Amino acid sequence: MPEFNLKRWWATPLVGLAGGYLASLIGWPLPYMVGSLLAIILVRCLTPWQLAEIPGGRKCGQWVVGIGIGLHFTPVVIDQVMAHFGLIFFGALITSLSSIVGVWLMRRSGEDRATAFFSSMPGGSGEMVNLGARNGAVLSRVAAGQSLRVLVVVLCVPAIFKYLLGEGAPQFHPAPVNWAWLALLFPAGALVAWGWQRLRQPNPWLFGPLLVSAIASVTWDLHIGLPDGGSQIGQWLIGSGLGCHFNRQFFRRAPSFMGRTLVGTLLTMIIATLAALGLSALTQLDVRSLTLGMMPGGIAEMSLTAETLQLSVPLVTAMQVMRLLFVLFLAEPLFRHWNRQSGQA
């Protein structure tokens, strides 16, 4: 099959690794994700060399990251998350509703309703493209809007958090590695991910391993972690995969659409920050974790940022998952209701 042609992607992991290593030398947060992402985008935009995505590479990265995120969950942490369930629900709702700003901007530029709506929703790219296809959206623009949103968040948020807001409290006792448990969790996570994928559920290679790892960690109170370099491998594979979605044609295509997507994303990030400040004042929870949990980025990317900056990974993950559930279950009914209301007006 052509996608497994080694000539098309053999250099992708090498370029990504070089970018990640350079980013780590200058102390950039989330270096192996951001560095590999930028390196591959630069090669694809500045040279004729169109590096292709590693077959299954991003899925493998999500598999590793999902196991690592799940290991942050413990019985005590679950109690804390459940105690703030209302806050998580409200924060996710604010993030979801703030996407209306992007829809309004798109409509101002003449985009049709379906394209404006599904390109602005802070859900997974694949899921929003599928919903857009069922409702008559221009799929290339939905995919472009979703990809650009994730790119902006991944490039901006970790740096802003590290250099302006600072890192969390240092972890003096890193979690030990238990190879026996990891030897059980990784195959089990892959099996659940495969089943989830067969059922056509969203983000299977992140959610499947995360669910397996979190259940095991809470049930047996494991307090273990990935070995050194494990998280970086996940970052590298995810960043390398994301970078292959961009080239010169991507950024030249419909500059007005891209500009409004960028403005809409930045406004959504500002709304999330202001809402997090308000929620933190009311609850005394860490404003950095709340802000990160409400950012319109991917679950893996935001959870990795929380891990790197030593913030509350479970709180951030719970808020991101809740937001994704809101968008997946409510986006299409709300869009169809909007269409009916507009038709009656």
Cβ–Cβ under 8 Å, residues 260 and 101: no
Q: Which residues contact 25 (CB under 8 A, 6 or more apart)?
A: none
Q: Give the count of beta carbons closer than 10 Å to the beta carbon of residue 212.
A: 23
Mean pLDDT of all residues in 198-218: 92
* Whole-number Å distance between alpha carbons of 74 and 24: 30
The DSSP call for residue 177 is: P
Q: Where are the domains of the chain?
A: 2-344
pTM confidence score:
0.88
pLDDT at 105 over 70: yes
| Cα–Cα distance for residue pair 193/261, rounded to 1 Å | 31
pLDDT tens figures, 226-245: 998 999 999 999 999 999 98
Topology at the third CATH level for domain 2-344: Na+/H+ antiporter like fold (1.20.1530)
CA angle, corner 200, sides to 194 and 202, nearest 5? 90
Which pLDDT tens digit goes with each residue over 257-279?
889 999 999 999 999 999 999 99
CA 104 to chain centre: 23
Mean pLDDT score across all residues of the chain = 89
Q: Would you say 148 and 294 are in contact if contact means Cβ atoms under 8 Å apart?
A: no
Instruction: Give tens-digit pLDDT for 295-330.
Output: 998 888 899 989 888 888 999 999 999 998 889 888
Please list, in sequence order, all residues whose beta carbon lies within 8 angstroms of the beta carbon of residue 24, skipping any fewer than 6 positions away.
31, 32, 35
CA–CA dist 85, 114 (Å, integer): 32
Say whether pLDDT at 344 is over 90.
no
The confidence score (pLDDT) of residue 1 equals: 41
State pLDDT tens for residues 31-73: 999 999 999 999 999 999 889 999 999 999 999 999 999 999 9
Q: From the CB of residue 4, how many other CB atoms can be counted at a distance below 10 Å? A: 9
- Predicted confidence at residue 343, as pLDDT, reads 65
pLDDT at 35: 94
Q: Which CA distances in Å does 333 have to 46, 111, 296, 329?
A: 42, 20, 20, 8
Positive/negative CA dihedral, 226, 231, 234, 236: negative
Per-residue pLDDT band at 173 (split at 50, 70, 90): low
* Cα–Cα distance measured from residue 46 to residue 29, given in angstroms and rounded to the nearest whole number: 24
CB count, 10 Å around CB of 166? Answer: 9
pLDDT > 90? residue 205: yes
pLDDT band at 160 (very low <50, low <70, confident <90, very high): confident
Burial 297-328 (b: 16+ CB within 10 A, else e): bbbbbbbbbbbbbebbbbbbbbbbbbbbebbb
- The conformation of residue 121, written as its DSSP 8-state character, comes to S
